[in-house]
Amino acid sequence: MSANTTTITPRAYLQAQSRWHPLEIAFWLATLLPFVLFPDYLSLASQIAITALFALSLDIILGYAGIVSLGHAAFFGIGAYTAGLISKFGWGDPLSGLVLATAAAGLVGFAVSFIISRFRHFTLIMITLGLGLLAFEAANRAHWLTGGSDGLQGMSIWPVLGIFKFDLYGYTAYAYSLAVLFFVFLGARRLINSPFGLALRGIRENWVRMPAIGADSRAHIRKAFTIAAAIAGLAGAVLAQTTENVSLESISFQRSADVLVMLVLGGAGRLYGGLVGAAIFMVARDQFSGIAPQYWYFWIGVLLVTVVMVLPNGILGGLSHIYARWRRK
C-alpha cells in the first residue's frame, strides 16, 4: 500500500480521483441492454432512468452536503407541471420544454434555498416536509391549471429534434430519458470532483469547521440546493413528456419518500447509489406488485430495513467495501 500511495504526487492523486473506472464504463454500456434484451420493458426502463435522475439530484444535497430533504418531489412536480403546461398550451418541442421546466424548478429552488441554508438537522427535515406538502396542496387546489387529482391532460409532445417520435413501445422514451440522465450525470460527476464538490463534503463532514477555514457554507448550500432543484425539475419534465401526462402523484410526499428510500438503498454520497437504488426499487415494485398489488410496499420495507441494518452505506457501500478487501489481498 505504502509503495504506490506515497510516491504519487498530490496533483496526480487528486486527478486520479476523477478518472473513469472500468466498472463505470461497464455500467453505462449495460444501460443500453434493455434495447436488446428487454424490448417489452422499455417504458419501465425509461421510468427507471427518470427516477435515477431524480435520485441523483437528491444525492447532490443529501449524499454530499448532508442536507436531508423530505420534500424533494416539490421540484420534480414543478418541472413536470411546467413541461406539461408548456406543451398543453401549444409548444410541444421537448428540448426547449426541458430547458424551461429546469429553469422554473431551479428558480423556485433558489428562492427556497435561502430558507434551507439557515437550518440543519431535524428543523430542516420538518421545513422540507412542510414545503413539500404545501406544493402538493397548491397543485391540488389549482385544479383549473393542473387538473388536480384528475391529472394534467391534453399534452402533445412533438418529435425530439423534429425527428424521433415518442412511440408506443418506448424506444424514443428510453433513449431520451437515458440521454438526459447520462449528460446530467457527466455534469454531476464533474461537480462532485470540483473544488465545490470538496466544499460540499466539507459541510457534510464538519459544519462547525467550515466558517473557521473562511468558508461561507450557506452560499455553498444555496448553490447546491438550486442545482439539485433544477435537476429534480428536469427529471419531472422528462416524465411528463415521455408519458404525456402529469399526475398529482408526481408532486406527492410519497415520491419524496420513495426517492429517499432509493438513495439510502443504493448508497448516498457515491453518485451511482441513486441510480442503482432507483433500478432496484422500480424493478422490485414492478415484480412485487405483480404478486401482491396491495402489499408490495411491505417488501420494500423489508428490503430497506435489511439494507440499512446490514449495509449502513447502502448496497454500493457494501459492494465497494467487498471490492476494496478483495483488492487488498
Partner 1 sequence: MSTPAPPAKDAVALATRGLSKAFGSLAVARDIEINLPVGARYALIGPNGAGKTTLINLMTGMLAPNAGQIFLAGDDITTLGPQERVRRGLARTFQINTLFAGLNALEAVTLAVAERRRIAGKFWRGVGSHSETIEEAYEILRRLRLGDSCYQTTRELPYGRQRLLEIALALATKPKVLLLDEPAAGVPQEESGEVFEAVASLADDLTLLFIEHDMHVVFRFASHIIVLVGGAIFTEGSPAEIAADPGVREVYLGKRKHG
Residue 140 touches partner 1, criterion: CB under 8 A? no
- Which of 31/226 has CB closer to partner 1? 226
CA 311 to chain centre: 21
Residue 205 touches partner 1, criterion: CB under 8 A? yes
Q: CA 278, CA 57: separation in Å to the nearest integer?
A: 12
Q: CA 97, CA 104: separation in Å to the nearest integer?
A: 11
CB of 20 to partner 1, least distance (A): 12
Q: Of the listed pieces 29-37, 40-48, 220-228, 285-293, which binds partner 1 according to CB under 8 A? A: 220-228
Residue 118 touches partner 1, criterion: CB under 8 A? no
Among 35, 196, 288, 296, binds partner 1 (CB under 8 A): 196
CB of 6 to partner 1, least distance (A): 6
- Which of 209/321 has CB closer to partner 1? 209
Size of the site for partner 1 (CB under 8 A): 39
Other beta carbons within 10 Å of 28:
14
Among 123, 149, 153, 194, binds partner 1 (CB under 8 A): 194
- Which of 214/290 has CB closer to partner 1? 214
Asked if 160 and 93 count as a contact pair (C-beta separation under 8 A), the reply is: no
Give the end-to-end CA distance of the chain in Å, rounded to a whole number.
11
Q: What share of the chain is helix, strand, coil (3-state, %, to 5)?
A: 75, 0, 20
- Tell me which DSSP letter residue 66 carries: -
Q: Which three cell numbers stand for residue 320?
A: 465497494
Among 31, 51, 79, 220, binds partner 1 (CB under 8 A): 220
Angle, CA 62 vertex, CA 50 and CA 253 arms, to 5°: 60
What is the contact surface with partner 1 in residues (CB under 8 A)?
Answer: 5-6, 8, 10-18, 190-191, 193-199, 201-202, 204-206, 208-216, 219-220, 223, 227
